[in-house]
Amino acid sequence: MNPSRTTTKNHTHRNKSLLLITYYSLLVTLLISCASPTSAPPVFPTFILVTQDPNASPTPTPFQPLGGIETPLPTFTLSPIPSDTPTITLTPTATATLTATASPTPVPPSVTVAPAATTVPPPTALQPSRTNYIFYATLDFDAHTLDVDETIRYYNTTGVALSDIVLSVQPNRYGGAFSLLVIYQDNIQLTTYSLNDQRLTLNLSQPLQPGAATTLGIKFKINIPAKASEGLFGYDFNQIDLVDWYPFVIPYVNGWVLHDPMSFGEHLVYDASDIELNLKTGPDVIVAASAPAEPNGDWTRYRLYGARTFTLSASDEFLMSESAVGSVKIRSYYFNGYQAAGEGILYAAVQAVSIYSVKFAPYPYETLSIVQTDIHDGMETDGLVFLASDFYGQYGGGAKNNLVTIGVHEIAHQWWYGLVGNDQALEPWLDEAMAAYSERIFYEFNYPRYGDWWWQFRVDYFKPTGYVDTPIYSGGSFRAYTNAVYLRGAHFMEDLRVRMGDDNFYAFLKDYAARYSRGRATSADFFNTVRAHTQADINDVIMDYFSASY
């Protein structure tokens, strides 16, 4: 990681503004109208609770230090608009074709574009074989505590009888942060379990047979720790970030998969799951979440389907700007003094979700939250990405900067990590090289004149070497690891695309996203899908970039 200029926040009273980019949102609606068949507005199913109301981990993304000067794109200003402003629906009167041309200059907004009927299909609904998580959680923002009742409905799809179930408990890695109060299995209290570091092992009274299901109940409390200097989980003076904050059942692949943590890269592997969070917190606390909020009695409910994990960020000083791509709401959360950057990354997010939805697959979730926080780079989670305050401080407008490059990288992870999962410890290239090359696709279709700049600024500046398929445990250092996996990975994807040809390459991306949607892919899966879309010999390309043959 390279140093970047440090910035200081200037926080005042809470305010909220809405970003409504009429011209671009309408253009996006037209583009997706051409790419997707007409469908009825999405109707999301009722999430099925498995118990009654109990009251009756970060992707570091390498970036280049601040340097170079670009001519900013024209800026625009917003006037605060009440949150209850009526929505005006615009009906498209023409069609458009998506081409690699420069993006239009943002136009000062005046109305909100309502979702059109021809938009991205809704996220995958509740699936009976996916693990279900139900939470009732109370967040005391000032005391930095979280009290949680968690219910897990686990389905044994492993094909073998299970004598135990293993969960990841990342908060237990922070000394004194996690308190496990009680565990139930099918309403009977469990006393035979062990909690060691990040691993919670439940010893079952009788084996869980293939195809059978069980219900686990866990009550726990988190004394939210102060953020470490390079960490994300925890609190600082005005914000709480909750990532990998709850016990979750880890995947079973010839045994339970829970890798050891490293000082860089991600070690966790996730199954897709269906999640409902019911949250209580203070009236002045603004919550950025992985899913949209809805009332549920005294609680605020969030529902997320087919996700790897559920993430929250809370602050009493957030400002928020909002836009949309079809029915997908995109919200940018930032702090006072950073409005231009907050709105700039929102505009880039609209562009990114638009092009990625056409080139990869429909956006996987209902909403996307982009959150400013005090970390050193960027971090993806399902439906929510974090970006470093330094990037906001460096932002001077336009698209030639770390805020946009890292921002669209993390947004690309909604497809390469969220929709298509992988083993992030042993095969991190499958999401990181894909997300890095997705930056290239973003610039190609939105800022085609910036292609040479992107290659130099993001990739070749570091003179990357190393094998693309380097695990996090073999990287040596953060810089060497990211040079190999991310940056050499981007060059590999470019060479693969040239060898396949554009039509075959983009057909491969769509097929890969469809085949492994809500599942996990391996390197072998990746290359099998490639070969299904080309007759070209790619063995020499693989030999140039990979330590293994595929």
So where are the chain's domains? 131-315
Strand partners, 214: 154
Strand partners, 369: 331, 384
Distance from the first to the final alpha carbon of the chain: 31
| Closest C-alpha to 375, from 69, 144, 57 | 57
Span 199-208, average pLDDT: 96
Residue appearing with tokens 């949607």: 517
Residue 150 parent element (H or E)? strand 145-155
Give the sign of the dihedral formed by CA 43, CA 418, CA 384, CA 142.
Answer: positive
- Predicted confidence band at 125 (pLDDT cuts at 50, 70, 90)? low
pLDDT digit string, tens, across residues 453-475: 999 999 999 999 999 999 999 98
- Predicted confidence band at 40 (pLDDT cuts at 50, 70, 90)? very low
| Closest C-alpha to 408, from 373, 358, 446, 375 | 446
With 80 as the cut, is the pLDDT of residue 116 above it? no
With 80 as the cut, is the pLDDT of residue 71 above it? no
**Cα–Cα distance measured from residue 381 to residue 430, given in angstroms and rounded to the nearest whole number:** 16
Domain 131-315: give its CATH superfamily: tricorn interacting facor f3 domain (2.60.40.1730)
Residue 236 parent element (H or E)? strand 234-236
- Enter the pTM of the model: 0.81
**AA identity, residue 10:** N
Residue 2 parent element (H or E)? none
Reading the block at residue 406, the tokens are 């890292």
pLDDT recorded at residue 246: 98
Strands (DSSP E) along 472-543, which ranges? 519-520
- Predicted confidence band at 231 (pLDDT cuts at 50, 70, 90)? confident
CA-to-CA separations, 508 to 185, 433, 541, in angstroms, rounded: 43, 15, 17
**DSSP state, residue 84:** T
Question: Which positions ≥6 away from 317 have C-beta within 8 Å?
Answer: 11, 12, 14, 238, 239, 335, 336
